[in-house]
Amino acid sequence: MKKSKVFFRADGDTQIGLGHLVRCIALAHMLKNAFQIIFFCKRIPSQAVNELSENNFGLVQIEDESAFFKKVANRDIVVLDGYNFDIEYQNQIKAIGCKLVCIDDTHEKEFAADLIINHSPGIKPEEYKARPYTKFALGFSYALLRKSFLEHAKIKREEKKAIKTLFICFGGSDFKNLTEQTLSAATPFHEFSTIIAVTGSAYANLDSLEKAISRDKRIIHYHGLEETEMLNVLKQADLAIVPASGILFEVLTFQIPIITGSYVSNQSVFITEIVKYKQVINSIDFSAVNLTNAIETALHAEIEYDNLIDGYSDERIITLFKSLQVESV
């Protein structure tokens, strides 16, 4: 039986970051056994191109949106992930006869989607301006994580260990170079025997970072890690410093203390909710003084843990997509 098509429309680069692409690729992996996957991108880094190719996902690189609209057809499922896909754009897709899925993290604009996925905690359907037919997949139960992290979420946490290894990662691009700033705040703490800094494939400050790393032998730097490599590096961590973005969801599956904060406006809603959980410490803006205070708290406070991600979001999401497929036949 021929598989139904799911078209993904998302972009990523050093300017806008890789978050939209990363969570779309995670969703694509959840759906690949049941659907044919095709990505449409204006901007996409070479590492993401390679990952799509290795997993037999289709990729069409476009120069304008008209090229995308010409490809989608009635009964296809379209997934949008990006802040520029406004209600007019969505209505064009619906007018073709497609089922529409929107991945969102701000709930600020109007939606014509059949399904909205927002894995941030604390959001309710009534906060959205959506259609009467819109279904919602909200909260940690629908976490858009890669398979190895979902599997790790099912593992029971070991007893708390002393904090010796610090993990630092600011996603795919880190256009504000917060990695280097965080290292400066962390290195004075002699409690850390190892400091792991991970930069993404779109990180543009490698020369400057290497100079900072050379000044402290405790620092280990990894760049452009694949999924399994990231999982194995995180297994070494006792404490993580990450932004309120997609990387935080991955770290949550390890049930270790997390220092987080926000540096772009779309993270503000997420940060408000995530810091309500006991293992998450708010550094607010990643300034030197706030990072120092947050690290002190992590090192000396008694931290309790909530099992926030259960590892079964893929099963729930596949069920929702199959219901869209049935309705469109």
For the chain, the structural domain boundaries read 4-145+311-328, 149-300
Same topology, domains 4-145+311-328 and 149-300? Answer is yes
Task: Give the pLDDT confidence of 139-156 residue by residue, as tens digits.
Answer: 999 999 999 999 999 997
CATH of 4-145+311-328, one of 2.60.40.1080, 3.40.50.620, 3.40.50.11190, 3.40.190.10: 3.40.50.11190
- 149-300 has which fold? Rossmann fold (3.40.50)
pLDDT at 329 over 60: no
Task: Give the pLDDT confidence of 203-228 residue by residue, as tens digits.
Answer: 989 999 999 899 999 999 999 999 99
**Bridge partners, 60 (sequence order):** 40
Look at 263 and 196; give whichever has higher pLDDT. 196
Do residues 165 and 237 make contact, with C-beta atoms less than 8 angstroms apart? yes
Report the C-alpha gap between 105 and 178 in whole angstroms. 22
- Check: pTM over 0.85? Answer yes or no: yes
pLDDT at 2 over 80: no
- Residues 218-222: contacts with CB within 8 Å, 24+ apart? 218/187, 218/192, 218/193, 218/194, 219/183, 219/187, 219/195, 220/194, 220/195, 220/196, 221/196, 221/197, 222/196, 222/197, 222/198
Directed axis angle between helix 178-186 and helix 288-300, to 10°?
50
Query: In terms of Cα–Cα distance, which of 64, 11, 17, 69 is closest to 39?
Result: 11
Look at 314 and 3; give whichever has higher pLDDT. 314
Query: In terms of Cα–Cα distance, which of 27, 307, 234, 39 is closest to 142?
Result: 27
